[in-house]
Structure 1
Amino acid sequence: MKLQVNDLLGADGDALLNYECTGITKESLHLPSPDFVDRVFMQSDRNPRVLVNLQRLFGHGRLQNTGYVSILPVDQGIEHSAGASFAPNPAYFDPENIVKLAIAGGCNAVASTFGVLGVVARSYAHKIPFIVKINHNELLTYPNTFDQIMFGRVQQAYDMGAAAVGATIYFGSVESSRQIVEVAEAFQKAHELGLATILWCYLRNSAFKADKDYHVAADLTGQANHLGVTLQADIIKQKLPENNGGYTALKCGKTSPLVYENLTSDHPIDLCRYQVANCYMGRSGLINSGGASAGAGDLAQAVRTAVINKRAGGMGLISGRKAFQRPMSEGVELLNAIQDVYLDPQITIA
């Protein structure tokens, strides 16, 4: 398996597979493992029903009982428009095919909207854990606005048999304070009902695009993660970091030079490790997003992201467009390739 991964990584293979982190060491992390719920969440204030649903997530699919997760997210029909999302493969206008892909692909769970999951709940809620995305940014308003608004109530997710709810906050946006309050209240209700919580900790502010796109800076996304775990998100979804130094470039907020001098480097695994550190050193799992589909290079890019996430101490990948914007058999192959990285004992923590 490692030879195949090395082939897909190309010239970056040695640098990614053999790197060892020294700034934040692996010994300081709470790493994914078969007993992660017992070892980490048992210490928390989560009630027994939350622990049951977390174990449902960890205990399903090809990665079952490893502590790692592979999730298929398909909320792009709202977030990016149905046409933009499903025109490359119109079969996925039908919600049943979304759930079928997650099952065939061996995923731990499927994450989607109230509508998608609700319309097939009686057929599939008992066959694969549902993660109901409770808020969205919709792009039909003209001119376009960028704001996450609630599309339903946590009780609806509970009633359809979901294992977890997901939500997005656009940290850094003018609307973020309201979103923080809404999501905090929703997550409290979710935990009360026994549902696990997953937070998409995204940055959104036009000022974050300067000489680089600092929406994917390790220091800024790391702080977004830290805000997310403060809201008691059990799992954090974040974009893979591509650069660093957002605080210093934008001259906003507060940081320490030690972040750049001691804790991180330019290496992608170090940048991702800083994201993990901000998730309470891995007590809340970090899953990185798979990103947009670029065509022929998707498989190699997905495997690269999985290697970085796993070796940094992350909990897995949540990859959608790379999987569903192609024939189902190819989508299954891509999802399985991601999972194979987490199943490979030779790919170790850096």
Structure 2
Amino acid sequence: MSSTKIVELLGSHAESLLGFSEPKISKERLHVPGPDFVDRIYVHSDRNNRVLGNLQWMFQSGRLAGTGYLSILPVDQGIEHSGGASFAKNPDYFDAENIVRLAVYGGCNAVASTFGVLGIVSRKYAHKIPFIVKVNHNELLTYPNKADQIMFGTVKQAYDMGAAAIGATIYFGSDQSSRQIVEVSQAFALAHEYGMATVLWCYLRNNAFKKDKDYHVSADLTGQANHLGVTIEADIIKQKLPENNGGYLALNAGDSSYGKLDKRIYSELTSDHPIDLTRYQVANCYMGRAGLINSGGASGANDFAEAVATAVINKRAGGTGLISGRKAFQRPMKEGVELLNTIQDVYLDSSITVA
């Protein structure tokens, strides 16, 4: 029986999320997380011993150590969303050290942030918690704003900092996606040579994806973004939780011809249940061989309930964990630690199983 706190936070969604038992893609087809995940999955890959060591370090850190699940604090919003918009709610996080302290005190497996944030405190913390250095960003000072990810440093800088991994974003579907795919695939290959793991923010970005719904968060389109991400050897995929499906169908309405689809995606591989939609994302990560971590989303009025629901959906879908930033750092540190620990409690609860 799941903990009372988790059930209370799920509220009216508890029965639907905790009782779901008939996924379209069966659990037996998946490579589910577990204490032996590095030995069972990554050891058979082309990753060298140093990459395996850094992956193991990440999986053996924090409150989730030894479970096969990851809880990561990402704070790159100072660039991606602007410093003022990100830190006005809690100006303490303009100080880079507080970002790393929150990850340490919050029991995270790793902290993901910018060259500047991690570099300014690297000698104090690089040996205490795995660093994921985010190597590219979309800056919002160019006028008018544009959606493009550009490199902010080199893979060697991350290596010299003592990072366990590098992270990068690709805006799949954008005008600049082809260049970004080339840049990030080259960065990931070099990171693996240096012995660092790779984490890819597999985001969609194109105004055409907004129609009757926002298909930036459709299971079919995000699933294909994940499939492109693991193709360039991302060890871990970060993706937004799917909120709908049928992106390909919407974009192919009328006379347009976009991509390729098979309608069995919507009948045999998914349903409208959020766990099924997220499982399709997992399926596109080589059935879970590359871990899927879903993002926690923006901060709001119901952060604890939303974070727990996202964690339950991810875990029951066969995902590898949660990467939650704004919900944690846009509040006092004590509350941020509590939120991170609440997310982790879902993955520590043995009664919440893969559906």
TM-score bucket of the superposed structures, by smaller chain:
over 0.9
Q: Deviations over 1:111-139 (max 9, x none)?
A: 00000000000000000000000000000
Q: Name stretches of at least 5 consecutive residues in structure 2 with no aligned partner.
A: 253-257
| Amino acid of the structure 1 residue aligned with 2:60 | G
281, 284, 299: which one pairs with 1:275? Answer: 281
| Amino acid of the structure 1 residue aligned with 2:23 | T
In 2, distance between residues paired with 1:125 and 1:189?
20
Say if 1:2 and 1:347, in contact at 8 Å, map to a contact too: no
Aligned residues: 349
Say if 1:241 and 1:271, in contact at 8 Å, map to a contact too: yes
The aligned counterpart of 2:206 is: 205
The aligned counterpart of 1:142 is: 143
In 2, distance between residues paired with 1:136 and 1:4?
37
The aligned counterpart of 2:261 is: 255
Deviation for aligned residue 1:302 = 0.2
Matched, 1:349 2:354: yes
In 1, distance between residues paired with 2:5 and 2:144?
47
274, 292, 315: which one pairs with 1:286? Answer: 292
For residue 117 of structure 1, give the secondary structure of its aligned residue in structure 2: helix
| Amino acid of the structure 1 residue aligned with 2:349 | D
Q: Deviations over 1:45-101 (max 9, x none)?
A: 000000000001000000001100000000000000000000100000000000000
Normalised by the length of structure 1, the TM-score is: 0.99
In 2, distance between residues paired with 1:158 and 1:56?
15
The aligned counterpart of 1:265 is: 271
In 2, distance between residues paired with 1:48 and 1:20?
38
| Amino acid of the structure 1 residue aligned with 2:273 | H
Give the share of equivalent positions with the same residue, in percent: 74
Say if 1:169 and 1:200, in contact at 8 Å, map to a contact too: yes
In 2, distance between residues paired with 1:132 and 1:272?
26
Deviation for aligned residue 1:3 = 2.1
Say if 1:61 and 1:107, in contact at 8 Å, map to a contact too: yes
Alignment of 1:1-350 (within 5 A): 1-251=2-252, 252-295=258-301, 297-350=302-355
Deviation for aligned residue 1:14 = 0.4
> Runs of at least 4 residues of structure 1 off by over 2 A?
none
For residue 263 of structure 1, give the secondary structure of its aligned residue in structure 2: coil
Q: Name stretches of at least 5 consecutive residues in structure 1 with no aligned partner.
A: none
Deviation for aligned residue 1:6 = 1.2
Say if 1:31 and 1:282, in contact at 8 Å, map to a contact too: yes
In 2, distance between residues paired with 1:145 and 1:24?
38
Normalised by the length of structure 2, the TM-score is: 0.98
Q: Deviations over 1:128-157 (max 9, x none)?
A: 000000000000000111100000000000
Say if 1:201 and 1:238, in contact at 8 Å, map to a contact too: yes
Deviation for aligned residue 1:22 = 3.3
Say if 1:285 and 1:314, in contact at 8 Å, map to a contact too: yes
In 1, distance between residues paired with 2:282 and 2:48?
24
Deviation for aligned residue 1:182 = 0.0
Deviation for aligned residue 1:21 = 3.3
Computed over aligned residues only, the root mean square deviation of the Cα atoms, in angstroms, reads: 0.6
Say if 1:67 and 1:315, in contact at 8 Å, map to a contact too: yes
The aligned counterpart of 2:255 is: none
In 2, distance between residues paired with 1:130 and 1:4?
31
Deviates more, 1:97-106 or 1:15-24: 15-24
| Amino acid of the structure 2 residue aligned with 1:324 | F
| Amino acid of the structure 2 residue aligned with 1:288 | N
In 2, distance between residues paired with 1:2 and 1:254?
43
Deviation for aligned residue 1:5 = 1.1
Deviation for aligned residue 1:2 = 2.5
For residue 268 of structure 2, give the secondary structure of its aligned residue in structure 1: helix
In 1, distance between residues paired with 2:218 and 2:284?
13
| Amino acid of the structure 2 residue aligned with 1:325 | Q
In 1, distance between residues paired with 2:22 and 2:225?
22
For residue 30 of structure 1, give the secondary structure of its aligned residue in structure 2: coil
